[in-house]
Structure 1
Amino acid sequence: MRLVKFTHACVRLDDGDRRLLVDPGEWAETEAFDGVTDILVTHEHDDHVDLERIVELAASRPLRLHGPESVRSIADKAGIGDTVTVVTAGDVFEVAGFTVTAVGGRHAEIYDGLPGCPNLGYVVDGVYHPGDSYFVPDVPVHTLLVPAAAPWGRHREAIEMTRAIAPARAFPIHDRALSTDVGYGNFDAWMGMKGGTDYTRIPLGQSVTL
Structure 2
Amino acid sequence: MKITHLGHSCVLIETGGARVLIDPGCFSSGWQGLEGLDAVFITHQHPDHADPEALPGFVRSHPGLPFYIEPSVSTMVDIPGARPMKIDETIPVKDQRIWTVGGRHAVIHPDIPRVDNVGLVISAPDEPTVFHPGDSLEATPDGVDVLCVPMMAPWEKVGETIDFVRAVGAQQMMPIHDGLLNDRGFSMIAGHLQRLTKSSFVTVRDPRPWTPDIEL
TM-score by length of 2: 0.75
Amino acid at match of 2:11: V
**Equivalent residues of 1:147, 1:172 under 8 A apart:** yes
Query: Is 1:15 equivalent to 2:8 in the alignment?
Result: no
1:166-185 → structure 2 map (5 Å cutoff): 166-179=169-182
1:138 and 1:178 mapped to 2: Cα distance? 27
1:42-191 → structure 2 map (5 Å cutoff): 42-62=43-63, 63-75=65-77, 78=78, 80-82=79-81, 84-112=82-110, 114-125=112-123, 126-179=129-182
1:112 and 1:118 mapped to 2: Cα distance? 15
Shift of 1:39: 0.7
RMSD of aligned C-alpha atoms?
1.9
Shift of 1:27: 2.1
Amino acid at match of 1:8: H
Structure 1: runs of 5 or more not aligned = 181-210
Shift of 1:50: 1.2
1:132 and 1:113 mapped to 2: Cα distance? 18
Q: Which structure's relative contact order is higher, taking Cα pairs within 8 Å and 6+ residues apart?
A: 2
Shift of 1:73: 2.9
Q: Higher Cα Rg: structure 1 or 2?
A: 1
Structure 2 counterpart SS, 1:177: coil
1:150 and 1:48 mapped to 2: Cα distance? 13
Moved more, 92-101 or 151-160: 92-101
Counterpart of 2:3 in structure 1 is: 3
Higher helix fraction (1 or 2): 1
1:28 and 1:16 mapped to 2: Cα distance? 25
Counterpart of 1:26 in structure 2 is: 26
2:25 and 2:31 mapped to 1: Cα distance? 13
1:92 and 1:163 mapped to 2: Cα distance? 25
Distance 1:120 1:113, change over 3 A: farther
Amino acid at match of 1:129: H
Structure 2: runs of 5 or more not aligned = 124-128, 184-216
Report the number of matched residues. 176
**Equivalent residues of 2:40, 2:67 under 8 A apart:** yes
Structure 2 counterpart SS, 1:153: coil
